[in-house]
Structure 1
Amino acid sequence: MQKSNFKELLAGQSPLLLPVAHDALSARLIERAGFSAAAIGGFGLVGCRLGLPDLGLASFGEVSCAVRDISSAARLPLIVDADEGYGDVKNVVRTVRTYEQMGLCAIVLEDQVSPKKCGHMAIERRVVPVIEAEQKLRAALDARVDERFAIIARTDARSIEGLESAIERGQRYVACGADALFIEAPTSIEELRKIGSSFQVPLVVNAAEGGRTPVLTPLEYSELGFSIVLYPATLLLRMVASLTNALAALREGRFDDQGRLPDFSMLTDIMGTNTWMEIDQRFGSN
């Protein structure tokens, strides 16, 4: 059973704000904060779970296990980064079937050459021929059982072939039937405006702090034509900063002053202790 569907989410909030969860705990915190949905990104997931960079080093099995953990821990609708589908069209079909069966809301399928690389890193990336990307996209659309499970097409061509090529690819992906489009890493407000005026489908933008794309307010993105705003590094950056400062203080024999911290009961509540203890009390042998 799906927790929600893509069109309902878009109808409920404009633009749809999607903090990116990197593990089950961050997904629960996003839920407790009142967001209507969340995303799972490969950068944070692979970094937190395996301590690896987002360079296509993790297998589909490793990533899908982590996605299952996160999905099981939160009731939020989830939009998941599916990289380039983890192989050819056969792998794409398996990826779609696996994630749809998990009850996810949507996946993002990109057109990078495998192994893919993070779209905001200052490293060389390559995209597959557009015909190959279309074949993968058609396979993904055909593989889903329920059309409410959305396939979002992403192109990384902006950083490789230029903006015009990225828009042309996007138009071809929309013609294939993509439910939404994600042109990664535009570098200016002017480029964002051109993308927004070129399409009628829902558009995704990455509000990556320190990345290539201007970070704007949700209203500004909406006015430029974007329906979905991803925050891929917001939680991760702050977690790393907080832990780094706390550990530096501990090395000096003191606690880092970060203002009022959550008490231990809040931590146990986030992790569902009361729910599990209720099960123990009802059915366990006391």
Structure 2
Amino acid sequence: MHKSSRIHNNDDLILPAAHDALTARIIERAGFQAYQIGGFALNGARHAYPDLVLTHFGEERTGFYDIIVASSLPVMIEADHCYGDVKNVTRTIRGYEALGVSALFFEDQRAPKRCDHLQELVSVNAIVSIIRAALAACSESEFFIIARTNAIEAYDFDEALRRGERYLQVDADGLFIESSRNVEQIERIGRYFKGASLCVNIFKGGDRTPWVSPDELHKMKFSMILYPTTILFRVMHTIEQAVRDLKAEKQL
């Protein structure tokens, strides 16, 4: 089976984020069926940068490659806004296909990224054009294209539903509505887009989207559950504790 088929056909994927090659290998050994690489974890671990699009396609492609070669699992990556407009899409899709990426999502937030209450989104028509270009650029029929909207933060919940519906109408393979505020919104998304392949982000500590168990999220019809910060934050905590102990000359 083609690796990407596991993302197309699996209804209950849990995708922890790998920030380096060792983490990807450990995720595979733990028995997960797929994993993700996101900009927050990659840029934080690789450059100590925040996720503000300070790196671009070439740098991120190198970072993704170093991780992907360490695991045989299907991998989903974050492609920001495809590093430009519709003209950049073909290079982005084909470049990541060549790396062995199985799925990617891109967002409708306008660059440069801003804090939540100052977010601006590109037009629906601009994202529709990107989706169409991405689908046309795929040389592998199993490559999975997910459209993400940040409309809850930038506008409101209803605008997120409207944008999500439009993105699916032009044949995006999956939909990712970012930053649900409560369980009721998560449930509404699952009902509204019943039958679609849906992603949800769960952050450590329940920031933005509240913590809901994977089993409950699958029952709400979310097929891909992403954990973009859980492993990285646990690693950071362990490193901080270790250096404090070393500084204090504690016996380890």
Alignment of 1:36-185 (within 5 A): 36-116=33-113, 122=116, 124-185=118-179
Query: Whole-Å Cα distance in 2 between the matches of residues 192 and 102 of structure 1?
Result: 33
Query: Whole-Å Cα distance in 1 between the matches of residues 147 and 104 of structure 2?
Result: 9
The alignment's TM-score, normalised by the length of structure 2, stands at 0.95
1:197 partnered with 2:191: yes
1:240 partnered with 2:236: yes
Query: Whole-Å Cα distance in 2 between the matches of residues 123 and 70 of structure 1?
Result: 33
Amino acid of the structure 2 residue aligned with 1:252:
A
1:207 partnered with 2:202: yes
Q: Report what 2:217 is aligned to.
A: 221
Residue 3 of structure 1: how far off its partner (Å): 5.4
CA contact (8 A) 1:3 1:75 kept: no
1:28 partnered with 2:22: no
CA contact (8 A) 2:81 2:106 kept: yes
Identity value in percent: 42
Q: Which runs of 4+ in 1 moved over 6 A?
A: none
CA contact (8 A) 1:116 1:125 kept: yes
Residues 79 and 45 of structure 1: CA distance in aligned 2, closer, same or farther (over 3 Å): same
Secondary structure of the equivalent of 2:69?
Answer: helix
Query: Whole-Å Cα distance in 1 between the matches of residues 216 and 104 of structure 2?
Result: 25
CA contact (8 A) 2:80 2:107 kept: yes
Query: Whole-Å Cα distance in 1 between the matches of residues 153 and 117 of structure 2?
Result: 10
Q: Which has the larger radius of gyration?
A: 1
Residues 39 and 81 of structure 1: CA distance in aligned 2, closer, same or farther (over 3 Å): same
Q: After superposition, what is the alpha-carbon deviation per residue over 1:22-68, rounded to whole angstroms, capped at 9, x for unaligned?
A: 11111111111111110000001011111100011111111110001
CA contact (8 A) 2:117 2:154 kept: no
Q: After superposition, what is the alpha-carbon deviation per residue over 1:156-178, rounded to whole angstroms, capped at 9, x for unaligned?
A: 11111101101110010001111
Q: Which runs of 5+ in 2 are unaligned?
A: none
Residue 10 of structure 1: how far off its partner (Å): 5.1
Q: After superposition, what is the alpha-carbon deviation per residue over 1:125-165, rounded to whole angstroms, capped at 9, x for unaligned?
A: 21101111111111111111112001011001111110110
Residues 203 and 255 of structure 1: CA distance in aligned 2, closer, same or farther (over 3 Å): farther
Query: Whole-Å Cα distance in 2 between the matches of residues 241 and 123 of structure 1?
Result: 28
Amino acid of the structure 2 residue aligned with 1:249:
D
Q: Which runs of 5+ in 1 are unaligned?
A: 257-286
**Number of residues of Structure 1 aligned to a counterpart in Structure 2:** 250
Query: Whole-Å Cα distance in 2 between the matches of residues 50 and 65 of structure 1?
Result: 13
Residue 239 of structure 1: how far off its partner (Å): 0.2
Residues 246 and 11 of structure 1: CA distance in aligned 2, closer, same or farther (over 3 Å): same
Query: Whole-Å Cα distance in 2 between the matches of residues 132 and 214 of structure 1?
Result: 30
Query: Whole-Å Cα distance in 2 between the matches of residues 170 and 237 of structure 1?
Result: 30
Query: Whole-Å Cα distance in 2 between the matches of residues 164 and 51 of structure 1?
Result: 36
